[in-house]
Chains A and B, each alone.
Chain A
Amino acid sequence: MSTSEELREALLDLEEVRKKEVLHRQMAEALLDGLRVLVTSKDPHTLFMRLFDTMKEPLDFASAFVILQNHDGALVTLTTSNSVFAHTVWQPGAMLRRVLAGQPVAVFDTLLVDEWNMQPEEVLEAARSALHFSIRTTDSNAIMVCTHPDRAHFSRNHVTLARRFSVLATQALQKLESDEKLADLEKQLETQASMAELNRRLAESEQKLSRAKKMEAVGLLAGGVAHDLNNILTGIVSYPDLLLMDEDVRPEYREALETIRDAGLRAAAVVDDLLTVAKGAASPREPLNLNSIVDAYLSSPEHQGLLEAHDGVTVDRAPGGDLLNVMGSPIHITKSLMNLTYNAVEALQGKGGGKVLVRTENRYVDRPLKGYTEVRPGEYIVLSVHDNGIGIPPEDLERIFEPFYTRKKMGRSGTGLGLTIVWNVMEDHGGYVDVTTDEHGTEFTLYFPAIREALPDTSSFSRFDDYKGNGETILVVDDLEDQRKTACAILKKLGYTAHSVESGEKALEYLKDRPVDILLLDMIMDPGMNGMETYRRISEIHPGQKAIIASGYSMSEDVVAAQHMGAGVFVKKPYTIAKLGQALKEELTK
C-alpha cells in the first residue's frame, strides 16, 4: 500500500470519527435538552408539550403526540402538538407491540402499516411518515409518535436518537416515579409517625378512660356503700354527742362515749375516702394555705404514730415563703399529704431509714410541662414529698394511681386507694400530679392552682351557745326512721321545734297547712320524690322556703339544683351537732 493511499485512508477514518463526534454531540445535546424537560416538568401534559418543543428540531418532525396504553391494552392520545391526533385510538398490532417492547420503529409509509391504516384519512394525510418509540414508566406504557406529512422522511439517525432518548426518558421517568414514590413513602412515614403519635395519644386516652372507668366503678361502689354506711354512722357519731351533753353521764361512760364517737368519726372519714374517688365527688372548698396543711399534718398524732412505727426515718419540711393560697378541701388535701408521706416513709423502711422532705413553693409554669401528666401553664402552689428510697419500678409507675393497685400488704397501710385518692383530689382541685423516680428516690409533686383570695375568718360559731336555736320550727324529711329520730333528737337539744316525715309527698301534705321556718331535707329518698323535687314542689306553695340539705352522698347535681332554687347549705351525713347547728344558724340568719 502506498503512502498516499495510507494517508487517504487515515483521512477517511479521521473524517468518519469527526462526523460521528459531531453527530454524537448533537444527539447528546438533544438528549440532554429532552431529559431536562423530563426532570423539570411536573404534570404529563406540560412535560410532553415541552418535550415536543425540545425534540422537534433534532427529530425533525412536523407533529408529535403521545399515546398511553389503557388497562384493556388499547392506546389513546394523551397529549399532542396537532389536534388532528387528539382523539386517536390504537389497537396494538405487530408494529406497536414492538415499539411497546422497546424497539423504535420508523415507518416510511404509514399507508402500508395496519395500525395506521385504521386511522382516519386526515390523520394519514398528516402523517405519511412516522417515528415511534416507547416512553415507559413503571406502571404504564406510552409511545411517542413523531410524524411528517412527507413519505420516507425519517432517517437512521432519527431512529438512533429516538432509541437513545427512549432509554434515557424511561430511566428519567422511572427515576421521577421513584422520587415521587420516595416522597410518598416519606409522606407515608410521616403519616405513620403521625399515626404513631395519634396511637400513642389514643393509648393514653384509653388508659385515662380505663382509669376513669375504674374510678367511676369505685365511685359508684363507694357512693352506694357510703350512703348506707353514713346513715349507720350517723347514729354512732350523733348519739354519743347527745349523751355527752348530759351532765349526769358518769365519767367512766363519758370516756367510752367519746371513744365510740371518735371511732365513728374515723369510720366516717374512711367512707369519705371512698367518696373522694367517686366520679363527680365534690367537697366544700375554702381558701387555705398549704403550709398550714403541712404543719397541721406533720404535727398530728397520726403522723407521730407513723414516725414512731418507722425507726430511722425523718420527715423534714421546707415551707415556701409567701406561699399563695389554694382553693381546696383541707381534709382531702391533708389526706393526700398523709398518703404520700405514708408511702414515702414506707419506701424507706426497707433501707432501715432515710429522709423524707415535704416542700411547698410557689411555681409559675410558663409552658406546658411534660411530666407524669402534662401541666398546663399557670400559677401553682406546689406540694412535694420526696424520699431517698429505692424508687418505683417502671412497670409499677404506670399503674400506681389505679385503685387497688398496690404492692403493699393490704390492711396494713390502707385500702389500696391511697394514691388513687391523691390523683382524684388533684383532679377535683384542677391540679396535676407529677412523679419522678430513680434508684436514688422518688418525688411526688402536686400542682395546685394558686388563688389570691384571703383565708376566711374562722372565729365565728366557736361556742355551742352560738348555734343554739330559739324554738324555730324544723321539718325533717328523711326516708329512714333512725335518721329522722337522730335528727329530731339533735334539733330538740339545740332548742328547735322538730317534726319529721318519711317522704317528700308527706312533707308537701304536712306543709300545706303548717308552714315551718326551715327544712332539713334528705336528698336521696326511695321510693317517691327525691330531695330536689320535694324542694321544688314545696317552693311552689311556700316560695323562699328555707332549707338545708343533708345527704350521705357528696354534692350532686340535684343538690346544686336545689340550691339554685333557694335551698341553703349542704350538710354531709354523718353530721355532728356542731355542724348541723352551724348550718341551721347560718341559714336562718340569712
Chain B
Amino acid sequence: MKLASGWSTNSNPGTAAEEAFGRMSAKLGNTPHLILLHSSCAYDNTIVLQRLRSLAPAVSLQGGTTCLGVVTEEGFHTEDGFGLGLLGVYDPEGSYGAGIARQGDDPAKAAVSALSRALERAGRPGEMPVAVVITSCPGNEETTIRAIESYLGADIPILGGTSADNDMTGQWQQFADDSMVPDGVSVAVLFPSGSVSHAFHSGYEPTEHRGRATRVSGRVLHEIDGRPAAVIYNEWTDGLIADTLRGGGSLVPTTSFTPLGQPVGQVGGVTYHKLSYPTASLPDKGLQLFAEIQQGSEVVLMRGTTASLASRAGRVAKAAIHNAPFSDSETEGALMLFCAGCMLVVRDRMDQIVSDLKGVLPNKPFLCSFTLGEQGCFIGGENRHGNLMIATLFLGSAREG
C-alpha cells in the first residue's frame, strides 16, 4: 500500500487535473486503485473529472468540492478560489470502489444506492468494508449516516465531509468515478490490505451556558427552555447576534467561535459533544443550524479560539495515530475533513496548520479538504455528523489484529 497526494491551483480545469495527477503519479509510481478528489467549485469540475478519467480510466474516484482549495503536505493550495487536490491510493491487494446518487426526495435510498454501487465497483458486494468515506450535499448528512449504518451495520466507521463552495451560494458538487452531481451523495468503500484509524474532534470547549432544546424542526432550533433560541443564544454570547434578532440574518462567520453543542457521549466522566453551527437567525427568532439537534436534548454553548482551532488539526491527527493499529512507520497517509468555517477564521494561520500536520505525519502524504459539515466516528464508536469539527482517516500498511 502506498499513498500520494497531488495538487494544482491552475485555473484551467483540465490543466489543473493534469498537474495534480502528474504530481500524484510521480510520487506514487503506479496507477492508483483509488483517487480521492477535492476541488474548489471555481473549476468546471466536469472537465476536471473528464481529464482525470482520461488519465486513469478504470480507477475508482470519489470526492466533492472544497472551500477555496486544499492542504497537502506541500502546503495550502488556493489561488483566487482555485485549488484542487488528489490523494491516490495504490494497494493492489486491497479493494476500493465508488458510487454516487442524487438524493432527490429520498436521501436514505440515495445513500444506499451509492453505497451499493461502490461495493459492486470494489468487487465486494455483501461484504463489510473497513471504512466508508462519504461526500454529500448539505442538508441530509444524518439521514445518509443512518441509511449507511442501517445497510452495513452500525459498526463501520463513516468519515466524510459536506461538500462546500467558496461563498455559501450553493455551488457545491459531489463526484464519483465519471459522475458529478450538485445534490447527491458520493460514497467510497475501502477494503485496504492494511488497516485504518480515525478521529473526530472539535476545537471547542463547553461553557456554563446550557439549556434544553424544547422545540426543533429539522435543522431549525426554535426554542431553548421554551424561549426563542436566537434570543437565548444572544444572551449566552453577550449580544453577539443582537443585530439579527429583529429580522433575522446570516450568522456566518459570526458564530464560528461559539457553536452549539449537543452531548453525544461521555468518556471517563467527560462529556463530548457534536457541534451545530448556527448559520442564520430566523425572523421568528429561531436558529438555522448546519447540523441537527435532537428535540429534548441538552444544548450547550461551546467556545473556541483562533489558537485552539489552528492547533486542532495537528491534535486530531495525533489522536488518530494514537489510536491506530499500526506504527508511525507503517502509516501511509491520511485524508482530513476540516470545517470550512474554522478554516476561514484561521486562514492566516494555515502555515501553522500545515506545519503541525507535517510534524505529526513526517514525510507522509495527506489531503485536507474544507467542508461545510463533517462526518466522523466518535470515540464511543458513534458515527455522527457535526459542524466545526475535524474528521480524519489514516491508512496504514499493517493489518489489524
Contacts and interface: CB of A to CB of B under 8 A. Distances in A.
A2 B268 CA distance: 19
Contact of B127 (A2, A15, A107): A107
Q: Report the interface size class on chain A.
A: 35 or more
A1 interface: yes
Interface string B154-165: 011000000000
Nearest to B399: A163
Contact of A15 (B267, B311, B322, B399): B267
Q: Report the interface size class on chain B.
A: 20 to 34
A153 B153 CA distance: 7
Interface in A329-374: none
B272 interface: yes
B153 A107 contact: no
A12 interface: yes
Interface in B268-311: 268-270, 272, 307-308, 311
Contacts of A153: 153
Contact of A108 (B152, B272, B399, B401): B152
Interface in B78-131: 119, 123-128, 130
B251 interface: no
Interface stretch (A3-11, A204-212, A313-321, A570-578): A3-11
Nearest to A19: B379
B47 interface: no
Nearest to B131: A156
A13 B267 CA distance: 9
B126 A110 contact: yes
Contacts of B268: 11-12, 14-15, 18
B155 A155 contact: yes
Interface in A8-41: 8-9, 11-16, 18-19
A8 B150 CA distance: 31
A112 B125 CA distance: 6
B323 interface: yes
Nearest to B325: A160
B382 interface: no
A16 B323 CA distance: 8
Interface string A92-107: 0011000000000111
B205 interface: yes
B315 interface: yes
B206 to A, nearest CB: 9
Contact of A159 (B125, B128, B269): B128
B151 interface: yes
B269 A106 contact: no
B28 interface: no
A160 to B, nearest CB: 5
Interface string B306-341: 011001000100010011000000000000000000
Contacts of A2: 205, 308
Contacts of A1: 307-308, 311, 315
B400 interface: yes
B195 to A, nearest CB: 9
Given A8-B270, A160-B401, A152 B125 contact: no
Interface in A179-198: none
A455 interface: no
A156 B126 contact: no
A152 B152 contact: yes
A292 B400 CA distance: 96
A85 interface: no
Contacts of B315: 1, 9
Contacts of A106: 127-128
Interface in B134-161: 150-153, 155-156
A380 interface: no
B126 A108 contact: yes
A16 B307 CA distance: 25
A113 interface: yes
Nearest to A115: B126
A109 B379 contact: no
B94 to A, nearest CB: 10
18 contacts: A1-B311, A2-B308, A5-B308, A8-B270, A9-B315, A11-B267, A12-B319, A15-B267, A95-B124, A105-B128, A106-B127, A107-B128, A108-B128, A108-B151, A112-B126, A113-B127, A155-B155, A160-B401
Interface of A: 1-2, 4-5, 7-9, 11-16, 18-19, 94-95, 105-113, 116, 152-157, 159-160, 163-164, 167
Given A8-B270, A18-B268, A107-B127, 16 more contacts: A1-B311, A9-B315, A11-B267, A11-B269, A12-B319, A12-B379, A15-B270, A15-B379, A16-B267, A94-B123, A95-B124, A108-B126, A108-B151, A108-B153, A112-B119, A160-B401
Interface of B: 119, 123-128, 130, 150-153, 155-156, 205, 267-270, 272, 307-308, 311, 315, 319, 322-323, 379, 399-401
